[in-house]
Every structure is written in C-alpha cells, then in structure tokens.
Structure 1
C-alpha cells in the first residue's frame, strides 16, 4: 500500500477533479501491474495497472489507495474492471466519500465473491488524499499558504526591495510545490505589485496549474506578464459582484475565466467563499503565495490547512515590510496554531512545514 500511495502522488496537480490514486497488483509476491491516475483524471489507476498486468491480474491482490469508483462517467467503473479481471483480493486504504461511490465500489467487489480488506495505511492515505477528501467533505479544496521572508519575518526592505530574500534552492522548491497543486493563488495586491507569472518553470514539465487571482474590482495590470499569458496557462479571476463589466469582458477576451464571489461583512471577498467557488469548479488543492493582507485574511478565516515557510538568514528590522497583514489578535489563544511536520535546509535557507493540528493525526 505504501507503494500505491507513492505512485498516486505522481498524479498530484494533474488529475483534478479526480483524486490522485495509486494501484499495485501483486501476484505470488511479484508486482505484475502498477498505475496512477493519469493527467486529466483518466485513465484511472486501476485501469492502468490492469492493462499492464494483462492475464497476470487473475488471482492477484490489488492494493488501491482509495476505494475503486462505482459510477459510470467518461470511463466504466473501476470496481467492475477489477471484477472482470478476476483479481483474487482487493486491499484499500480509504473509502471514497464521493456520494456516487462511498461504499458502492467495495459492495460490488464483495458481491462478486472477492474479499476486500479496508483501512490499510488509512492515516497516510488521509494526508495523501486530503485535498480531494476536503472537497468532498467540506466543499472546498485544501489550502497551503506559503510565507517566505527574513529571519525577523520581513518580506522587503523599507524601500520595497525584495528580490531575492531567499536563494535559488528555495525558489526551485516553490516551483515544485506549484506543480503538485491544482491551483496557485495570490491576492490582488500581489498581482498589482509584482505582476507574477505564477507558472512552473525550470522543471522540464509542460503542465501548468490553474493560476488564481483574487481581486474584488479586477483592478489588475492589463499589459504585463500575467495578462500576456492569460491564454497560455489557465487563469481564473475571482472578483466581487461590483467588478466593472468592461474589465470582466477584457479579461475574458484574453482567455481568463472570471468567477463572481460574494463579499463578506467587510465588503472584501470572503476567503471561505473563494475556496467554495474553487471547490465547486473541481479544484482539490490550492497553493497560496500571498500577499500579506490576503494571507492574513485566510488565516483569520481559519481556512489554511498547511503552512510552508522559507526563512533566510538575513535581518531587515522593524522598518521592513511584514510578511502578514493585521489579524486583530489581542490574546495568544486567538492565534491559529499549527503542528510542525518538517524542517530542513534548502541551500542557505530553512524550509519549515506546519500543519493545522486537526490534520496532523487523522482518524
């Protein structure tokens, strides 16, 4: 099952709205087939593994990181494919909470007389599939917030100089994380100040995540990098109902997808509503790269699941720009708490990964 989970990770960022599933077929202690969910969500992992195994699948044990699907979509159900191949046993890590499946795949396999073992590596699978599970259970994708800055938490000098605080190893790691998420998101302030491309570069891959900009009024640069690339890498703009119609039309003509999101009580776009809109569009995982005010609003709304920090060994002082905007916290018990997952060196910088405590020990 550990191998099935590892294989599934190869599909991360490429197979939404489907989960990134892995499958391994074992016959007499020999692997005869393996597969993972392919780009665009199909073929599914089981289909790939069965095709590789051929006749050797008969009597084999199938290890699948998520319950085989039981519904007809663009492809037939994977539970039926396993039955037709006459596998001898099926082992799954988790049931699929999608109401079209949710025990249906297990039931059909068992009805065919094939034994099913459930719950193997369930805790690890909860983490591996967390984005998809989040969308099914909570109606929103999993959200990772990236913060990069100096040792004292600053992202720019008093004059606004910020390139580069962290080194090339940290920046390359950011590109790898972009590639593993379905979408990369920033607030309108970052889009206006930096005009970022938000694409994956220098990793030898053509696939690009969906680029998401959250801007209530769509007051974004229309002659920069982001605008020029609107038709080449997916660009989704989340805006409020008061965004001017002419701006919406111009961005749509460039190839962007514009989505209306309702504001909160403060008249700014509601972070939870943003994620709900992305979840409704099929996005399982989002990697947010700021800016400071937008990141603070996500933390204050309690929608950040993972924190990725990159800390450089330089000091900018109190006059430097803070990494986060105001959150209105007056007591420690109001502050969001995260549990440490990993820390390591990346060149001259330090990577630290934190996870919301409720996710660090899944049940």
Structure 2
C-alpha cells in the first residue's frame, strides 16, 4: 500500500516523522514546562544522519541534539520536527537559527507552535530560503504532546483520570477494602503514568482511607520533583499522613475561611464551590506553579467533580477480570442525571496488562455526544 503524501510532501515523510514522534515520547515526564519534541535529520542523499529529543527543561532542544548527532552531514539535508522550531532565546538559543546555521535545506513540521512567545520559526526559515512543509502526522504528534498543547491552548494543566476497578465498575468492596483489585503488572504501569506527570491529585477521602504516599518509585534523575496535591476542603489531613512525609513536595488545597492547623500552614486557600473547592481555581493555581500534566488518582467523588466540570482530558482505566456486585463505584456523581447528559468517550487504546485490561479513552467531540 502506498504512503499518503501530504501536499508538498515526500513519500518518506510519514515514516521519518513517525520516528520523530517516537523519539519525542522519550522526554515524557522530564521536559515540563516545556513540550516534548523529537527530531530526525536526513543528509542530502536522504539517509538518516542524526536523531534527538528534548530530554529535560533547560537542556538542549531536539533539533540541537539531532544536529550534533548529524554533524556536517546536516548541510543540504532535511529535518523532521514534531513541533515548529522555536524562534526565541530562552534558556537555550532559537532552534530555527540552529537549523539555518547547519545549512539544512528543508524542514518538515508536524505541529505549528501555538505559543506566541516561541512561534515563528517556520516563517524565519522560509525567509532564509529553507523549504518548510507542515501538517505531516499532525494528529499523532499532537496526541504525543497533548499535555503541553492543552496547557498552552486551554491555559490549564492536562488532566488524566486514572482508576482501577472490577469488571462491574467497583473500586472497593462493600466493607471498604480495595487493595488490591488489579494485578502487580497494572500497578507497575501506574508508576509509569506517575513518572510522565507533573502532579498527582488525590482527595481527602483517599488520604484518610488509604494513607497513600503518592510518589514515584523510580524516576529519571533529570525530572523535576513530582508535586503531590491533596484536595482537602476542611483541612482534615492529619500530621501523620504519609503524603506529608517530605519525600516529595506536597500542596494541600483547602477551602477559603477554614481554620488550618499548624502542620498544614503552607496550605493554599481556594474559593469554595459545591461539594468542596473550586476546581477551576485549583487548575489555575497549578498552572501558576508551571504544572503541565496532572494525574488524578482521587476517589470517586473527586473524579466525578472533575468530569462534571469538564476538566478531564483523558481516562486510563485498569479493569480486573473480577466481580464484586456491591461496594463503592469507581466514579461518583458527575453531573449526568439523564441519558441525554451522559459523558461520551472514545476508545483510543485497549491493551492487556498482566491479567487485567487497560483502556485509554478521551472525551468524544461535542458533535458525537
């Protein structure tokens, strides 16, 4: 089957861009508040000369890494980049300038940069005679960079709700026990999700019931510390809670006007809302702290509130081949009182994880709901 060629593109563009997207994924969890970016450099004869990805904030960008790998072979060649090369000087120099200095003749871009501070690289390259083709594997590249793109376009962190449940949707038994519904393999996969996130959010109910640490067992040395966030409207987090153990930074969000005990003296006070605190205010607080991606591990009530407010961008569910028939549901009230108000999702991936099943879904476009 022949490859689909975008307007102005070449037959091999999809293949090389797909490799760039895979390279970009290696930076997940380490680049925040920057995007993940991958780059592949071909020499003038069309052979791969260099590869690179952005590994951590403040480090060299993908294009610079790939150009170093390619050396003089980059001259007259082609660069495949998952995000439009930056056009400004921040902690590193502009990538558009680096590509020009290296003598690259053509640049293929998957996604245009929506950040007005850094955008404009494509225009700069074209102004200096470089051929720039855009729109190659845009959907795949956007999916891989969804967290950063959401933070720029919607001005709030990207939220993934993670849950584990039996096949009949129960997250705990009737007596309240919940460890362990899913397998060690599923729990290990959750560690990967945590490592790709900037913050973990849990509710006070989860903290009181399970006393979780909310940490990553193994994390790359370069990645910034994971922020643990407890949504605790009534300031009930006990001093003995493991989430306050100092192993990672912790933010406790309480409702305005609540008396805060001394051990929660650094708690942030947020406006009240029905059932607790204003979650949009919480998202604004986290964005102000340069949090790009959030993993929501709170209980059913908090998850329902996030979904009701339209703040969940992705759902990752781990389903165990087991039945309870009674007990706590994985999701609490989410603002859907009738079938007409149901929250429709679309399957993105269904994968066996040990004996369990991992399902990844995203909210369906409005026209499909």
Question: What is the TM-score when the length of structure 1 is the normalising length?
Answer: 0.90
Structure 1 CA distance for aligned equivalents of residues 37 and 365 of structure 2: 23
1:10 is matched with which residue?
26
Deviations 1:134-160 (A, max 9, x none): 111111122111121112211222221
Number of corresponding residues: 349
Structure 1 CA distance for aligned equivalents of residues 42 and 253 of structure 2: 46
1:101 CA displacement:
2.6
2:160 is matched with which residue?
144
Q: Aligned with 1:299: secondary structure?
A: helix
8 Å contact 1:140–1:280 — kept in the other structure? no
Structure 1 CA distance for aligned equivalents of residues 328 and 152 of structure 2: 38
Structure 2 CA distance for aligned equivalents of residues 97 and 74 of structure 1: 19
Structure 2 CA distance for aligned equivalents of residues 245 and 156 of structure 1: 30
- CA RMSD between the two structures: 2.1
Q: Aligned with 2:51: secondary structure?
A: strand
Report matched runs for 1:144-183 at 5 Å: 144-183=160-199
| Structure 1 residues 165 and 284, CA gap change in structure 2 (3 angstroms) | same
Deviations 1:262-301 (A, max 9, x none): 222x262122222232223222221111211100101111
1:245 CA displacement:
5.0
Structure 2 CA distance for aligned equivalents of residues 62 and 22 of structure 1: 10
Structure 2 CA distance for aligned equivalents of residues 123 and 36 of structure 1: 19
Report matched runs for 1:60-71 at 5 Å: 60-71=77-88
8 Å contact 1:16–1:41 — kept in the other structure? no
1:58 CA displacement:
1.6
8 Å contact 2:46–2:77 — kept in the other structure? no
The yes-or-no answer on 1:323 pairing with 2:330 is: yes
8 Å contact 1:155–1:321 — kept in the other structure? yes
Q: After alignment, is 333-342 or 26-35 more displaced?
A: 26-35
1:337 CA displacement:
0.6
Deviations 1:22-57 (A, max 9, x none): 111111222222111122242211111122222222
Structure 1 CA distance for aligned equivalents of residues 357 and 226 of structure 2: 25
| Structure 1 residues 285 and 360, CA gap change in structure 2 (3 angstroms) | farther
Deviations 1:116-172 (A, max 9, x none): 111111111121111111111111122111121112211222221111111111111
1:53 is matched with which residue?
70
1:360 CA displacement:
12
Question: What is the TM-score when the length of structure 2 is the normalising length?
Answer: 0.88
The yes-or-no answer on 1:310 pairing with 2:318 is: yes
In structure 1, stretches of 5+ residues that fail to align are: 253-257
Query: Aligned match of 1:105 in 115, 121, 124?
Result: 121
Structure 1 CA distance for aligned equivalents of residues 183 and 125 of structure 2: 51
The yes-or-no answer on 1:35 pairing with 2:52 is: yes
In structure 2, stretches of 5+ residues that fail to align are: 1-16
Structure 1 CA distance for aligned equivalents of residues 311 and 343 of structure 2: 10
Q: Aligned with 1:40: secondary structure?
A: coil
1:194 CA displacement:
1.4
2:40 is matched with which residue?
24
| Structure 1 residues 292 and 132, CA gap change in structure 2 (3 angstroms) | same
Deviations 1:313-356 (A, max 9, x none): 222223x1222222343211111110111212222212111111
1:359 CA displacement:
9.6
8 Å contact 1:195–1:221 — kept in the other structure? no
Q: Aligned with 2:229: secondary structure?
A: strand
